Structure 1
Amino acid sequence: MAEQIKLEAMLLTLERYAQEYQTLPQAKEKIQAVQEVLLAYQQQQLPVQPLPELEFSEDFLFEHLDAYPDILELEGTLNDLRQCVIESFGIWHIFSRVWAADLAAYLKQRPTLQVMAGNGVLASQLLNVLATDDFNWHGQDITRPAPWTNVVKIDALAAVQQYYREVEVLLIEWAPDSHEVDYEILRFLRSVKWAGELIVVGEKRGATNSKKFWEQAKLEKIGQLNLHHQPFDFIHDQVYRVR
């Protein structure tokens, strides 16, 4: 399949770069981190540590361009990581075991509903979480559902309306920006005066969630959940409590 061919090609390219840049620690660290992500996902596991920033500074590039004429191509390959992961595994949000452990500790096994859970990667790392998704992203970016855990097939708003009385936490992780179901969920929760906690992982007014949601949501960053949740590319997603 095309996605498997792309994955194998990227792994081969990274291995070649790993050999070429083994004496340049700043590059070697980034290459190894990207390799770890891809190899972990092949085993339906998470990388242990958060990714470092994958871009090089302009000064660093200028300093090493003569010795490494293909360093710009290396940077381009590293920055292809997210798209490769989307197409190969149907995963948009890349996070580590360390951050997943932070989230698990924060939730304290409170009954949690996750909507728009995709392949259930995050839910597979947590206890007492009901993961739901309608899988309408099937075929987008060549992706196809391959859940890591049980994911109930149901529309996000319908899931909230059905289960909100049974849970203490609602988790929305990397909701798409192509519709306003996140805003509809927020409006519904306010209408029923839901007393639970709404946690959203996304990029404010950026790659995730609808414009209307970000306009209406009252946001508070959750410090302990952003400690190991750092941007590694041009998308600066963070973890928020929403009122």
Structure 2
Amino acid sequence: MNPKKLRRLKKQIRHQPTPLAQRDYLSRIKAYYQDFGEYPAIKGLLSNIILADRILNTGKLPQQLPLLQLPDDIQDVIFQHINATYPAGDPTGDQLWNHLTDLLPQLDHDLRSFRDYLENHYGMWAYTSEPFVNDLAEFVGDRSVLEVMAGNGYISKGLRDAGKTVYATDSRSWTAENETGRHTLTPIESLTALEAFEKYQSDVGVVVMSWSPDGVPVDWELLQAIRASAADVDLVVIGEKDGATDSADFWQHADLLDNPTVHQLNRHFTPIDLVHDHVYLVR
């Protein structure tokens, strides 16, 4: 191995998936954990994925995650570690270098695809960690909560576990296309967002809307209904502004607050991938 070889490998564009791509997602993650066991920066990311999956599999809310992204200098780190471990001319070092660098493109893809795994396996779109829900519960205080478009109910379950009164609702229309939507974590009433607000507006002080579908104007319709109502409610929205969630009309008309309360709600709600979703208070 030499610096010229390192530079050449960095410039390669790999289009073919490795044999690992044929395995299921968690098996690949666990295999990477063994392959990259000498590299704490990678091992830590993989450990977080494995732990989150283990917790979710028990029906509980997982831990907060770091950004699941390889460090920019990871090839340099691998190169330096192998050079320090194997003497010059030892073919074992070259073989290990080739093996690990060949895995990096698929590893990078799989780290960024953890959200896809969560969607397909658990029906979780917004990564809902226990620390975030604890912050949300603190914000809610002694008020009751209406969650619209609750999906499988991760937020509602967390708030109920924290002792909050929660009306969890969802139209359930999406469950025909997604098997995971038939396995809710907590009881959910079958209501559209507008039906739910009309029914519970006098009973709640907080409305939560997480990952409203991209391009579907139900979010804007709900916001208009809240504005027209005499009810005094805070609307908490989780999504990516002008991105993967919600309608263009909603983001165009939403008044997004920026204050210490919003910062507190985002304290444990941080990006895990290229989707920059955020917690908003909307007027």
TM-score, normalisation: structure 1: 0.91
Contact preservation (8 Å) 2:215, 2:248: no
Does residue 175 of the first structure (1) align with residue 212 of the second (2)? yes
Give the structure with the higher percent helix. 2
Partner of 1:146: 183
Does residue 199 of the first structure (1) align with residue 236 of the second (2)? yes
Alignment of 1:1-243 (within 5 A): 9-48=24-63, 50-61=64-75, 63-64=77-78, 66=97, 68-69=100-101, 70-126=103-159, 127-140=164-177, 142-221=179-258, 222-243=262-283
Contact preservation (8 Å) 2:41, 2:71: no
Gaps of 5+ in 1: 1-5
Letter in 1 for 2:276: H
Contact preservation (8 Å) 1:137, 1:143: no
Closer, same or farther in 2 for the Cα pair 1:211/1:62, shift >3 Å?
farther
Secondary structure of the structure 2 residue equivalent to 1:189: helix
TM-score, normalisation: structure 2: 0.79
Cα deviation digits, residues 82-112 of structure 1 (max 9, x gap): 1111111111111211111111111113111
Secondary structure of the structure 2 residue equivalent to 1:232: coil
What is the rounded CA distance, in whole Å, between the counterparts of 2:214 and 2:177 in structure 1? Answer: 14
Shift of 1:38: 1.5
Secondary structure of the structure 1 residue equivalent to 2:70: coil
Cα deviation digits, residues 183-229 of structure 1 (max 9, x gap): 00111111224321111111111111111000000001401111111
Letter in 1 for 2:275: I
Shift of 1:135: 0.7
Secondary structure of the structure 2 residue equivalent to 1:201: strand
What is the rounded CA distance, in whole Å, between the counterparts of 1:165 and 1:20 in structure 2? Answer: 56
Letter in 2 for 1:56: L
Secondary structure of the structure 2 residue equivalent to 1:58: coil
Contact preservation (8 Å) 2:128, 2:154: no
Contact preservation (8 Å) 1:87, 1:143: yes
Shift of 1:9: 2.0
Shift of 1:236: 0.5
What is the rounded CA distance, in whole Å, between the counterparts of 1:158 and 1:56 in structure 2? Answer: 44
Secondary structure of the structure 2 residue equivalent to 1:109: coil
Shift of 1:141: 5.0
Shift of 1:165: 1.1
Gaps of 5+ in 2: 1-20, 80-96
Contact preservation (8 Å) 2:151, 2:181: no
Contact preservation (8 Å) 1:102, 1:225: yes
Partner of 2:8: none
What is the rounded CA distance, in whole Å, between the counterparts of 2:207 and 2:128 in structure 1? Answer: 19
